[in-house]
Every structure is written in C-alpha cells, then in structure tokens.
Amino acid sequence: MPDDKRYSDDVGGVEGGLHGDAPRRGLARTIAKVGYATRRQAEEMVRSGRVTVDGRRELDPGATVTPESMIAIDDHQLIDVIRTYLALHKPEGIAVAPVIGHRVRLVTELLPRDTPGLRAAGRLDTATSGLLLVSNDSEWNAAAAGGDDLEKEYLIRVGGPVTDALIDVIGAGVTAPKLGLLKPELVALESREDSATTIRIALRGGKVRQLRSLCTVLRLDLQAVHRVRVGPVLLGGLKPGRYRHLSRDEVEGIRRGTA
C-alpha cells in the first residue's frame, strides 16, 4: 500500500510506447514496449490466443503491426501505459518471485493493482528486507538492477563482535568463488555488541548474493541484510510494506547510473 506521506509526484510520460518511433514493429515487442508485460509474457499472451489485431485473433508473436493497428488483449484495447516508478520497503519473508516448492507471499501483493506491468528491478532474497525499486519500464529496471556504476548500500547484522581489523579486511576487498573480487565502496561500523555487530556496506554492480558470499568467505554468521539505498534513492523512513512514487530526479539518477 502507498505510504501515508507523498514524498514526490508521479513521473509520467511514455517512452517508445504504442506510437513510438518505429513505424512497424513485432506484436509481442509492441505489447512489451507499452508496459503490459515482459517480452516473454507478451509472446505467451499471443500464442495463447489472448491477443487480437484489427479484430482478428493473432497467434504469431512476431506478426508485424503499425501505429494504426487496433491491438486488444482479452478484448481490452491496448493503450500506452503511464510509466510508474516506485520505491518499496520489502519486509523480510516476502518474495520477489515465486519459490518452487514453497508457498510465500509476493511483493506484488504490496503494489498498486491498477497499474499494469509493474515488476521489481532485480531481486532481493526472501530473507532480505529494505529498498526494492519497482517500475513498468523494462529498460529502467535493467539499469537499476545491473548498473555497474550504481552503489547499493546495506546494513548487515552478523553474530558476535567484529574487530576493527576485520572491518579493514572487508574494506580492502575479498575474493569470493565465482564472483571474483568484492571491494566495497564503503564499510563502516554501525554498532558492536557481544552478541551481534551491525556493519554498513556499499557495493557497486549487480552480482548475485555478493554480501552472503562475502560473509561466507570470512566465516561471519550473517543474521540479517537490510538495503537502505540504491544509487540516489534512499529508503529513508518508508515503513515496511509501504511504497512511494519516485521523484523525477531519482528516476533520472537511476537512468544515468548516478551513485
């Protein structure tokens, strides 16, 4: 559900939508470009007979359409979708995608249902909480998820006290199997007690499970991971399970890869 506070206005506008710059385009690509589905989902929609072009059922995802073509999905005319960009505070225990063999709640339950095509920009593990970016702009999502220039900042809690020397080791970089060198942009001690230590870490790039791999290499008992920033977007005081619309500066900052 939306956060009670509106941090910013919606960012509207359509980029490369139904009437984009290409005079002719494949049917599935058109559906995906407008924002109703991913390319693969759009292809399945067409093959399953859910799509008509100028009143006729079309089963070929690659069929050519023009800006004048009347495209409908389940008898509802295809229109350009307003691009929507959200910051969601994902609670621990909520999954970004279905988990095979497990019944879990999904982040889609927390998002507005009147906005088609919303998808998470990358993934957070089910056990990870914090900032998750969401939009119906696939190119923007790709930039947010895998941008090598974007910093992603986390608070991690590990069991027991962590020495200053080990903090220095993390800052110098750790080589993890299959991932290579993991060298944080920032490492800072947040709190240290006998039972647990909280560390603030910022990393660039979109390597999968890099924090968990780092802790495995250092034999740290990782207890919790909480993401607080992606590039220019801060989680701030957003409450768990709530979302807010991003500002234009935040959207463009992600698009440019601003740290």
141 and 249, same domain (yes or no): yes
pTM tops 0.85, yes or no:
no
169 and 44, same domain (yes or no): no
Looking at residue 18, its pLDDT comes to: 54
Token pair of 162 as six digits: 């962590």
Q: Where are the beta strands (DSSP E) in the chain?
A: 25-26, 51-53, 56-57, 64-65, 71-73, 76-77, 85-90, 119-120, 129-135, 151-159, 174-176, 180-182, 186-192, 196-204, 222-230, 233-234, 243-245
- Check which CATH number belongs to the domain holding 37 and give it: 3.10.290.10
Looking at residue 12, its pLDDT comes to: 37
Percent of the chain with pLDDT over 90: 60
Q: What is the pLDDT of residues 6-57, one digit of tens each?
A: 333 333 333 445 545 556 789 999 988 887 888 888 999 999 999 999 999 9
C-alpha dist (Å) from residue 146 to 150, 205, 242, 254: 8, 6, 24, 11
180 and 130, same domain (yes or no): no
Looking at residue 68, its pLDDT comes to: 86
Mean pLDDT of 209-232: 94
Q: What is the pLDDT of residues 112-143, one digit of tens each?
A: 988 888 889 988 899 999 999 999 888 899 88
5 within a domain of the structure (yes/no) = no
Looking at residue 179, its pLDDT comes to: 87
Closest alpha carbon to 51 in 39, 42, 40, 62: 42
What is the C-alpha to C-alpha distance for residues 92 and 225, in angstroms, rounded to an integer? 9
Token pair of 117 as six digits: 């095509």
Looking at residue 168, its pLDDT comes to: 95
3-state secondary structure of 44: helix
Q: CA angle, corner 50, sides to 47 and 56, nearest 5?
A: 95
223 within a domain of the structure (yes/no) = yes
Mean pLDDT of 60-77: 91
Q: What is the pLDDT of residues 140-165, one digit of tens each?
A: 998 898 767 789 999 999 999 999 99
pLDDT at 2 > cutoff 70: no
241 and 115, same domain (yes or no): yes
155 and 226, same domain (yes or no): yes
116 and 226, same domain (yes or no): no
52 and 176, same domain (yes or no): no
- Cβ density class 108-143: b for 16+ within 10 Å, e for less: eebbeeebebbbbbbbbebebbbbbbbbbbbebbeb
Residue 87's φ and ψ, nearest 5 degrees, are -110, 125
What is the C-alpha to C-alpha distance for residues 111 and 175, in angstroms, rounded to an integer? 37
- Check which CATH number belongs to the domain holding 239 and give it: 3.30.70.580
Closest alpha carbon to 167 in 143, 148, 184, 149: 184
Mean pLDDT of 68-73: 91
Q: At 4, is the pLDDT very low, low, confident or very high (cuts 50, 70, 90)?
A: very low
**What is the maximum alpha-carbon separation in the chain?**
69
Mean pLDDT of 84-111: 91
The distance from CA 113 to its chain's CA centroid, rounded to whole angstroms, is 17
128 and 98, same domain (yes or no): yes
98 residue type, one letter: P
C-alpha dist (Å) from residue 166 to 176, 193, 197, 218: 16, 15, 12, 9
8 within a domain of the structure (yes/no) = no
- For residue 202, the enclosing domain spans 151-230
Percent of the chain with pLDDT over 70: 90
**Higher per-residue confidence, 117 vs 218:** 218
245 and 139, same domain (yes or no): yes
Closest alpha carbon to 224 in 161, 170, 158: 158
Closest alpha carbon to 183 in 199, 198, 168: 168
How many structural domains compose the chain? 3
pLDDT at 231 > cutoff 70: yes
199 residue type, one letter: I
13 within a domain of the structure (yes/no) = no
115 and 133, same domain (yes or no): yes
237 and 248, same domain (yes or no): yes
Q: At 205, is the pLDDT very low, low, confident or very high (cuts 50, 70, 90)?
A: confident
